A and B are shown apart, each in its own frame.
Chain A
Amino acid sequence: MARPIVPVPDPATQPFWDACNEGKLIVQYCSVCDRRQFPPEAACRDCGFNFHLTWQETSGRAKIVGYSITYDSRLVQWHPLQPFLNVIVALEEDPVINFHTNLIDDFGTNLSEEPDIPIGATCEVQFVEAEPGRMIPEWKLVK
Chain B
Amino acid sequence: MAILLSFDIDGTLELGDPPGGVTTEMVRKARDVGFIIGSCSDKPLSVQRKIWEDMELTPAFVSAKHQLGKVRRENPADAYYHMGDRDTDYMAAKDNNFGFWWAHEAAEQPWLEFDMNNHEQIPITT
Q: Give the B-binding residues of A (Cβ under 8 A).
A: 71-72, 79, 82, 112
Interface residues of A, dominant DSSP:
loop
Please determine whether B87 and A112 come into contact, CB atoms closer than 8 angstroms.
no
Please determine whether B95 and A79 come into contact, CB atoms closer than 8 angstroms.
no
Interface residues of B, dominant DSSP:
helix
CB of B122 within 8 Å of the partner chain: no
CB of B88 within 8 Å of the partner chain: yes
Please determine whether B88 and A72 come into contact, CB atoms closer than 8 angstroms.
yes
Q: Which residue of B lies closest to A79 (CB)?
A: B87
5 contacts between A and B (CB under 8 A): A71-B66, A72-B88, A79-B87, A82-B91, A112-B95
A-B CB proximity, top 5 nearest: A79-B87, A72-B88, A82-B91, A112-B95, A71-B66
Q: Map CB proximity to A onto B94-111 as digits: 1 under 8 Å, 0 otherwise.
A: 010000000000000000
Contacts of B42-92 to chain A: CB distance below 8 A: 66, 87-88, 91
Q: Report B96 CB to chain A, min CB distance, Å.
A: 11
Q: Report A128 CB to chain B, min CB distance, Å.
A: 25
Q: Which residue of B lies closest to A71 (CB)?
A: B66
Q: Which residue of B lies closest to A110 (CB)?
A: B95
